[in-house]
Amino acid sequence: MYAFDIERPTSVADAVAALKDEDAQALGGGQTLIPTLKQRLAAPSKLVSLTGIADMQGIANDGDTLRIGGATTHATVAVDTADTYPALADLASHIGDPAVRNRGTIGGSLANNDPSACYPAVALASGATIITNTREIAADDYFQGMFTTALEDGEIVTAISMPVPEKANYQKFVQPASRFALVGVFVAKFADGVRVAVTGASNEGVHRWTEAEDALSADFSAGAIAGLTVSADNLIADLHGSPEYRAHLVKVMTGRAVAAAS
């Protein structure tokens, strides 16, 4: 680790001000950033911790939509959404291990947009809105590729507005080592249609599988996607799976998510 300064602001405004310094870096739960620093792969001059900002903590239920503070930990989401959005709670309860879940935050995960992370799948499938200190960004516009989002420098994910579907389920087929998603599929059924988001599979990061959405919107059953095929083009190839394997898993996991949706 290289030396850095750290600030722990208690308001979003103070955090935004602190992030104006050159090479300042926002710090959520640090579950990606801290290991990166320890490997000396990043050298921010200053870390601005967001976890002390009360406005960014906790979950509010506005009827059909959850508002989740950006600094809310996975562990809190897992517990506090168990009744309101069980599929989200289930997803959160299977991220990493207890240490990760008690440190890592939803805002940090969405800002990082790891191509194999779980939260981008639920955000995209739920049609969430990413709320920052300056604006609101629809999930469809927010995720822009592997580790790439619509966030500007110094912009902070202060909250996520998450519509609650009628039925939903997340199926994660884990990569054996990291236990990130080798392929993860989140299926969300709303009154006006079905959204299917896929993580872990693509070089473009999280994305929607629109053919499946169309088929499932017409007939919400696992059999509805039987005739579809997933192209292996631009899917991730690594030690743990070929593009063809990932393409196959996208379909298998989608079917299982539909079957398990509740």
Q: Are 142 and 162 in contact (CB under 8 A)?
A: no
The rounded distance, in Å, linking the Cα atoms of 6 and 209 is 41
**Which parts of 92-151 interact with other proteins (CB under 8 A)?**
none
- Asked if 191 interacts with other proteins (CB under 8 A), we say no
**Of the ranges 15-23, 134-142, 195-203, 247-255, which one interacts with other proteins (CB under 8 A)?**
247-255
- Asked if 167 interacts with other proteins (CB under 8 A), we say no
Three-state SS at 260: helix
- Asked if 227 interacts with other proteins (CB under 8 A), we say no
The conformation of residue 70, written as its DSSP 8-state character, comes to T
- Asked if 184 interacts with other proteins (CB under 8 A), we say no
Q: Specify the amino acid at residue 87.
A: A
- How many of the chain's residues bind other proteins (CB under 8 A)? 18
**Which parts of 47-86 interact with other proteins (CB under 8 A)?**
none
Least gap, CB of 236 to other proteins (angstroms): 12
- Asked if 248 interacts with other proteins (CB under 8 A), we say yes
Instruction: Output the CA–CA distances (angstroms, integers) from residue 148 to 52, 60, 88, 128, 180, in the order listed.
Output: 25, 28, 23, 17, 18
Least gap, CB of 19 to other proteins (angstroms): 26
- Asked if 240 interacts with other proteins (CB under 8 A), we say yes
Q: How many CA atoms lie within 13 A of 235 on its CB side?
A: 22
Interacting residue with other proteins among 41, 83, 153, 177 (CB under 8 A): 177
Instruction: Tell the burial category of 216 from Cβ atoms under 10 Å away from its Cβ (0-12, 13-18, 19+).
Output: buried
DSSP one-letter string for 112-150: H--TT-SHHHHHHHTT-EEEESS-EEEHHHHB-STT-BS
- Asked if 252 interacts with other proteins (CB under 8 A), we say yes
Which residues contribute to the site for other proteins (CB under 8 A)? 1, 3, 39-40, 173, 176-178, 182, 238-242, 245, 248-249, 252
